[in-house]
């Protein structure tokens, strides 16, 4: 064991002593003289990008940027970790054959090649080093079962002309060990790609790649009025290419979700799911439950679920079926009840197959529940499962959704209290992420209180008049909070030496700024006084912080909205996630679904699990629509999610009967409203339907994919969402579409069409209906506000009736007063 621990260090020392690091500037830069004698640079044409924004501090509209770590002997450059992405800890692998604890598995033979870009590392805009921030870095992680044998770093740099004209270098370090330095003053076009050979022994599971500008830094730091001129950008296309060998982790259920998914993996994970040739609804429901579990395990990481029928995966995979069923030549083992088994893949012993076995739908549900609910025992490869009661979700009890019953402290929304602290002047923003149910309702004029406690540093060189705390949510600016209280009295008191610090404030947030996935950001913009010594500007010993007892209060909101609304679906899988376990959701597929249709369903299930943090264990699945669906509680009592291409014409037409949509020869169209329907829409407040525009767009588009939503024909208080496409080739693109923030933002209404040429186009074509709970008196007000025309007509009718009645009464009284017969 001691020898095993020493081997990596010996290997690293040998590599460093016997080989030189190579920096290869691909666009003609000269290599720094201390990188190894006699090495010649290789040159090619440099890749270029658009101008990088010149900013006094790193800016990012992404949620994935990190906190600066002050320099130290061990970490000479600051490290920027992906936002809200705490470094994972992985369980120690166990050798299931002899139950011996081992730190590194002993057998490996699968070759792995992978490239991780800076964008994959959580920095979609790259990294920016400037006069105000001369050091930065990034964290990247690797699966624990991967041993690196070769590594090469490719850095795409863009350098400001002013910086390139001076004598500065970019110092590179990996895990505290120097990789070399890149001169920044030898480029004719101010951009280049450098390649750096990295000793494999330096690459471990969690890696800090740090960069710092070296040279006459004191002069650079002092040019506070010209920080925008001196910068170097590490572009998001920069990457590290890795070659290695995959270790055999053994057959141990206790390490799940490894080897199928590793939280250290930064690239997209593909979890293959295999089914018998005669696929059934029960195995699809079980697979959807497992996919949702992987979805919330993956969190911000990309995950996909390729599907195979009647064949084993070539690598790792999960198999669903009944005892004795065939998957190709493989036969599922016999079992007297629900069971989980982890076996070697007969086609590849390094790979593993997880068998989820049950004799019926309920047993498969039990197996999935045991897999997803608690940690599995160590040192076992198979587990027979005893039947147990599976509790159902309550409305809005998703673990990842912010509580709306009471104020929520910000400290409960971050991994640690350190995430509410910023060091120094030049730092990244403090970010607090939270998810919310998308159907939160408040009346116009009502606001959501966010109480912010904050502390600026107490230093006499800080300009307290211009320093401020910037507050924003979802990249929308909210407010600037001052260091000191404002006002004449406060200014006078401060002049006399009194304390006028403002250390708390309550913001009033408009409800429409709250989405399904939200991020609050706080940035302490600290401005030094004129003439401040340069050494103080990079003093990371000063701290600014948001108080842990700051809170956001959603307790005055209601759960009420209009459906259908596809923006809720793509953002939070709502309304299906109202009950996070999908206990009031029915999933429908064609009678003989394709691999692509099943794969799309599993991807959508993963998104639901990611949104709520809970597996969809109680979901029901149907293949096809039976003739007696109107009498089946599964159809009448549930919201319905459908995945099907339009090529299943009879199936799709059955779903669309009685809706605003129709299908003719596989072509979707929108029905033109009749005069009566237009009149009703006008009276009921639906003035902006887009039936004609939507139908024209559909008729002019051949190949597309997207979403439809409409009131269920089996229950008008339920909603149907259909994920569809003109064919499997288009349906397969939905997974990639939903990874795009642009597409997610563009999906709304009840019809969203996505094409490669035009992106996403959304329309509102059908009627909406209210869903949720409001006090009865507020429901009256809401209906009145939604039906202005009817309310105006009722008011006019009431006025006419009252006026005519008063006219008749007054006419009768006048006749009596004049002694005339009132009946004449």
Instruction: Say yes or no to pLDDT of 101 above 70.
Output: no
Q: Is residue 397 part of a domain?
A: no
Q: Which residues contact 320 (CB under 8 A, 6 or more apart)?
A: 273, 274, 275, 283, 286, 287, 356, 364
Do residues 200 and 309 both lie within one domain?
no
Do residues 86 and 168 both lie within one domain?
yes
pLDDT of residue 224: 54
Do residues 133 and 31 both lie within one domain?
yes
pLDDT of residue 533: 78
Over range 577-605, report the average pLDDT.
Answer: 97
Over range 512-540, report the average pLDDT.
Answer: 85
Q: Is residue 56 part of a domain?
A: yes
Between these two residues, 30 and 271, which has the higher pLDDT value? 271
pLDDT of residue 107: 46
C-alpha to C-alpha distances, 386 to 358, 370, 389, 505, nearest whole angstrom: 12, 9, 10, 54
Q: Is residue 353 part of a domain?
A: yes
Between these two residues, 29 and 568, which has the higher pLDDT value? 568
pLDDT of residue 78: 32
Over range 395-410, report the average pLDDT.
Answer: 95
353: tokens are 């197959």
Confidence of residue 492 (pLDDT cuts 50, 70, 90): confident
Instruction: Say yes or no to pLDDT of 311 above 70.
Output: yes
Q: Compute the residue count for the chain.
A: 824
Q: Is residue 466 part of a domain?
A: yes
Do residues 70 and 105 both lie within one domain?
yes
Over range 342-363, report the average pLDDT.
Answer: 93
Per residue in 749-759, pLDDT (tens digit) is 999 999 999 99
- What is the distance in angstroms between the CA of the first residue and the CA of the last residue of the chain? 118
Do residues 466 and 421 both lie within one domain?
yes
Do residues 703 and 564 both lie within one domain?
yes
Do residues 755 and 806 both lie within one domain?
no
On the 0-12 / 13-18 / 19+ scale of CB atoms within 10 A, 681 is: middle
86: tokens are 């705490």
Computed over every residue of the chain, the mean pLDDT equals 83
Per residue in 643-661, pLDDT (tens digit) is 999 999 999 999 999 999 9
Over range 237-259, report the average pLDDT.
Answer: 92
Confidence of residue 787 (pLDDT cuts 50, 70, 90): confident
The span from the CA of 247 to the CA of 90, in Å, is: 15
Tokens 């399904």 -> residue = 516
pTM for the structure as a whole? 0.82
Sequential DSSP letters for 263-289: TT--SPEE-EEEE-SS--HHHHHHHHH
Per residue in 251-310, pLDDT (tens digit) is 999 999 999 999 999 999 999 999 999 999 999 999 999 999 999 999 888 999 999 999
Do residues 372 and 501 both lie within one domain?
no
Out of 384, 417, 448, a domain closes at 384
Over range 721-738, report the average pLDDT.
Answer: 96
Per residue in 194-230, pLDDT (tens digit) is 899 999 999 999 999 999 888 766 566 665 555 567 8
Q: Which domain holds residue 798?
A: 787-817
Over range 181-191, report the average pLDDT.
Answer: 73
Over range 350-369, report the average pLDDT.
Answer: 95
Do residues 298 and 177 both lie within one domain?
no
Confidence of residue 486 (pLDDT cuts 50, 70, 90): confident
pLDDT of residue 99: 29
% pLDDT > 70, the chain:
84
Looking up residue 498, the CATH number of its domain turns out to be 2.60.120.260
Between these two residues, 445 and 117, which has the higher pLDDT value? 117
Instruction: Say yes or no to pLDDT of 7 above 60.
Output: no
Domains in the chain: how many in total?
Answer: 5
Per residue in 433-479, pLDDT (tens digit) is 999 999 999 998 899 999 999 999 988 888 888 999 999 999 899 99
Do residues 621 and 750 both lie within one domain?
yes
Looking up residue 366, the CATH number of its domain turns out to be 3.30.379.10
pLDDT of residue 218: 59
Q: Is residue 781 part of a domain?
A: no
The bridge status of strand 269-270 relative to strand 303-304 is parallel
Do residues 190 and 69 both lie within one domain?
yes
Q: Which residues pair with 129 in a beta bridge?
A: 232
Do residues 764 and 696 both lie within one domain?
yes
566: tokens are 């596809």
Closest CA to 552 of 456, 429, 412, 396: 412
pLDDT of residue 85: 37
Collapsing DSSP to helix, strand or coil, 759 comes out as: strand
Q: Is residue 64 part of a domain?
A: yes
The span from the CA of 656 to the CA of 672, in Å, is: 15
Instruction: Say yes or no to pLDDT of 501 above 90.
Output: no
Out of 179, 214, 247, a domain closes at 247
C-alpha to C-alpha distances, 576 to 35, 382, 632, 706, 724, nearest whole angstrom: 58, 33, 19, 18, 18
Q: Is residue 402 part of a domain?
A: no
Out of 534, 556, 578, a domain closes at 556
Q: Please say whether the beta carbons of 467 and 474 come within 8 A.
A: no
pLDDT of residue 110: 72
Instruction: Say yes or no to pLDDT of 761 above 90.
Output: yes
């Amino acid at each position: 064991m001691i020898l095993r621990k020493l081997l990596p260090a010996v290997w690293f020392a040998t590599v460093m002593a016997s080989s030189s690091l190579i920096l290869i500037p691909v666009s003609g830069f000269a290599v720094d003289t201390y990188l190894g004698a006699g090495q010649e640079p290789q040159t090619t044409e440099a890749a270029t990008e658009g101008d990088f924004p010149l900013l006094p501090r790193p800016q990012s509209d992404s949620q994935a940027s990190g906190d600066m770590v002050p320099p130290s002997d061990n970490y000479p450059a600051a490290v920027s970790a992906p936002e809200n992405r705490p470094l994972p800890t992985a369980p120690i692998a166990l050798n299931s054959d002899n139950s011996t604890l081992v730190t590194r598995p002993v057998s490996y033979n699968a070759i792995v090649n992978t490239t991780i870009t800076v964008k994959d590392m959580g920095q979609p805009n790259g990294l920016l080093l400037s006069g105000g921030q001369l050091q930065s870095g990034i964290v990247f992680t690797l699966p624990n079962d991967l041993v690196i044998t070769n590594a090469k770093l490719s850095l795409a740099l863009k350098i400001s002309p002013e910086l390139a004209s001076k004598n500065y270098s970019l110092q590179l370090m990996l895990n505290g060990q120097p990789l070399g330095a890149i001169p920044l003053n030898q480029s004719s076009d101010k951009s280049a790609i450098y390649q750096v050979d990295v000793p494999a022994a330096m690459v471990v599971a969690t890696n800090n790649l740090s960069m710092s500008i070296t040279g006459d830094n004191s002069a650079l730091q002092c040019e506070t009025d010209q920080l925008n001129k001196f910068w170097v950008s590490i572009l998001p296309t920069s990457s590290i290419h890795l070659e290695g060998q995959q270790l055999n982790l053994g057959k141990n259920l206790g390490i799940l979700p490894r080897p199928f998914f590793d939280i250290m993996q930064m690239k997209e994970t593909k979890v293959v799911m295999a089914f018998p040739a005669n696929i059934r609804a029960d195995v699809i429901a079980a697979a959807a439950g497992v996919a949702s579990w992987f979805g919330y395990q993956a969190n911000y990481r990309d995950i996909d679920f390729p599907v195979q029928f009647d064949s084993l995966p070539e690598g790792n995979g999960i198999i669903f079926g009944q005892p004795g069923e065939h998957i190709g030549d493989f036969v599922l083992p016999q079992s007297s009840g629900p069971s989980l088994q982890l076996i070697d893949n007969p086609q590849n012993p390094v790979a593993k197959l997880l068998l989820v076995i049950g004799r019926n739908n309920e047993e498969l549900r039990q197996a999935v529940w045991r897999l997803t609910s608690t940690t599995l025992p160590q040192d076992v490869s198979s587990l027979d499962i005893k039947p147990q009661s599976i509790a159902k979700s309550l409305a809005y009890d998703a673990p990842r959704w912010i509580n709306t019953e009471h104020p929520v402290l910000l400290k409960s929304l971050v991994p640690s209290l350190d995430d509410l602290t910023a060091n120094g002047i030049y730092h990244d923003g403090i970010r607090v992420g939270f998810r919310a149910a998308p159907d939160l309702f408040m009346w116009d004029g009502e606001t959501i209180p966010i109480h912010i406690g904050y502390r600026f540093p107490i230093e006499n060189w800080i300009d307290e008049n211009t320093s401020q705390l910037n507050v924003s949510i979802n990249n929308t600016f909210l407010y600037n909070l001052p260091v000191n209280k404002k006002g004449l009295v406060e200014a006078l008191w401060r002049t006399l030496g009194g304390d006028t610090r403002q250390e708390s404030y309550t913001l009033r947030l408009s409800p429409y700024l709250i989405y399904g996935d939200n991020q609050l950001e706080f940035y302490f913009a600290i401005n030094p006084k004129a003439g401040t010594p340069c050494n103080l500007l990079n003093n990371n010993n000063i701290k600014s912080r948001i108080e842990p007892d700051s809170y956001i209060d959603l307790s005055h909101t209601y759960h009420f909205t209009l459906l259908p609304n596809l923006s809720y679906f793509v953002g939070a899988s709502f309304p299906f996630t109202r009950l996070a376990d999908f206990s009031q959701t029915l999933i429908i597929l064609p009678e003989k679904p394709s691999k692509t249709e099943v794969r799309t369903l599993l991807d959508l299930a993963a998104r639901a699990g990611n949104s709520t943090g809970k597996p969809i264990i109680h979901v029901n699945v149907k293949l096809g629509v039976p003739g007696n669906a109107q009498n089946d509680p599964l159809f009448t009592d549930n919201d319905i999610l459908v995945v099907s291409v339009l090529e299943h014409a009879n199936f799709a037409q059955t779903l669309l009967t009685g809706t605003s949509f129709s299908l003719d020869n596989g072509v979707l169209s929108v029905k033109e409203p009749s005069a009566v329907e237009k009149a009703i829409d006008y009276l009921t407040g639906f003035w902006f339907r887009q039936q004609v525009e939507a139908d024209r767009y559909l008729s002019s588009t051949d190949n597309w994919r997207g979403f439809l939503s409409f009131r269920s024909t089996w229950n008008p208080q339920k909603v149907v969402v259909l994920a569809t496409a003109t064919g499997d080739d288009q349906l397969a693109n939905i997974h990639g579409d939903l990874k795009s923030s642009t597409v997610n933002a563009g999906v709304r209404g009840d019809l969203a069409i996505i094409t490669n040429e035009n992106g996403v186009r959304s329309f509102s074509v059908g009627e909406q209906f209210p869903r949720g709970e409001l006090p009865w008196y507020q429901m009256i007000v809401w209906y009145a506000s939604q039906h202005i025309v009817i309310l105006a007509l009722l008011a006019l009718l009431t006025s006419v009736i009252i006026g005519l009645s008063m006219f008749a009464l007054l006419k009768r009284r006048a006749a009596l007063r004049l002694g005339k017969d009132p009946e004449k």
